[in-house]
Copies of this chain bind each other. A is one copy, B any other.
Amino acid sequence: MRCCHICKLPGRVMGIRVLRFSLVVILVLLLVAGALTALLPSVKEDKMLMLRREIKSQGKSTMDSFTLIMQTYNRTDLLLKLLNHYQAVPNLHKVIVVWNNIGEKAPDELWNSLGPHPIPVIFKQQTANRMRNRLQVFPELETSAVLMVDDDTLISTPDLVFAFSVWQQFPDQIVGFVPRKHVSTSSGIYSYGGFEMQAPGSGNGDQYSMVLIGASFFNSKYLEFFQRQPAAVHALIDDTQNCDDIAMNFIIAKHIGKTSGIFVKPVNMDNLEKETNSGYSGMWHRAEHALQRSYCINKLVNIYGSMPLKYSNIMISQFGFPYANYKRK
């Protein structure tokens, strides 16, 4: 037959062999490609995983865990008690202790002698005792989320687990437990305060325009934002040893064009400052502390050329915790 006749020609035989070889090579390459594709990590494009970076050391997604940053000065007894609590919180990746006790060695040895510990704790010795030390871009920080807590604040684990899940749904905002507000007066001068102040506007209820970072989750990229702010902002914080949290709220509100934070009502959060033996009671006890914060608001408006803070009255609680908290009285 004609086909056979063609097949028997030497040139054709060679051609068919080359063809077969090529097909085999192509098939092998496809199999290899398929295997490689199966082995690649899947990349999701939705909003939640927008800032995903690989954590080579622990293999965790950077949106699924957070880094605790705790700055401490002269209250090591509270610090260690709090670390014992926080080290066991689910989804905690690492702790960074910003050690502001200049001239005193950080308790690395003591910490290690009482191991093993669930997660790494890094003590970062500082060169000067500055409030804004905690807002550095720490190279050890690998997660998208920061949990920032003052060294006298004990937040229960259920509160943290819930607030972190809320942050994952609103990763561009500060999700935290302490709301504050600014009010403006007829003179255009701003003042800083809490619930004792009256929110502007008609309507019932209250408003807040800031969520303090000392008990909150926020996106770690905002540490870089803070570093890039005008020198005047850093100078203001250095002069007052105050207002780094107000500045962060300004920066974030300005960046996202909406309210900087979301308030999550804590079920079980305590301030332990009365329990310290150090004799040191915290910056907010200084006589000028509250006045400084109003001062800072007006300075920041001056530096940025506008008031970017926005009001919100959204309060988030965990459905069904404490039990049946949604039932009508």
User: A57: shortest Cβ distance to chain B, in Å?
Assistant: 26
Q: Do most interface residues of chain A lie in helix, strand or loop, or is the interface mixed?
A: loop
Once the chains are docked, how many angstroms separate the CA of A269 from the CA of B320?
Answer: 19
Instruction: Give the distance in Å from the alpha carbon of A313 to the alpha carbon of B165 in the complex.
Output: 10
The chain B residue sitting closest to A169, CB to CB, is: B314
Let me know if A284 is at the binding interface, CB within 8 A: no
Cα–Cα distance between A234 and B129 once the two chains are bound (Å): 68
Stretch in A13-21, A79-87, A201-209, A294-302 touching the partner: A201-209
A206 near B319 with CB under 8 A, answer yes
**Which range holds the interface residue count of chain A?**
35 or more
Q: Is the CB of B313 within 8 A of A315?
A: no
B203:A161 contact, CB within 8 angstroms: yes
Q: Is A312 an interface residue (CB 8 A)?
A: yes
Q: In the complex, are the beta carbons of A317 and B318 less than 8 A apart? A: no
Residues A179 and B326 in contact, CB atoms below 8 Å apart: yes
A3 to chain B, nearest CB (A): 49
CA distance A204 to B325 in the complex (A): 13
Q: Is A122 an interface residue (CB 8 A)?
A: no
Q: Is the C-beta of A162 less than 8 angstroms from some C-beta in chain B? A: yes
A317 near B315 with CB under 8 A, answer yes
In the assembly, what is the distance between CA of A179 and CA of B326, in Å? 9
| A171 beta carbon closer than 8 Å to chain B | no
Residues of B within 8 A of A318 (CB): 205, 313, 315
Q: A313-B162, A326-B315 are in contact. Are A320 and B266 (CB under 8 A)?
A: no
Task: Please measure, in the bound complex, the distance between the C-alpha atom of A166 and the C-alpha atom of B259, giving whole angstroms.
Answer: 13
Min CB–CB distance A262 → chain B (angstroms): 10
Smallest CB-CB separation from A318: which chain B residue? B205
5 contacts between A and B (CB under 8 A): A46-B257, A179-B319, A263-B319, A263-B326, A316-B317
Query: What are the nearest 7 A-B pairs in CB distance?
Result: A206-B320, A205-B321, A205-B320, A313-B319, A315-B319, A315-B317, A205-B318
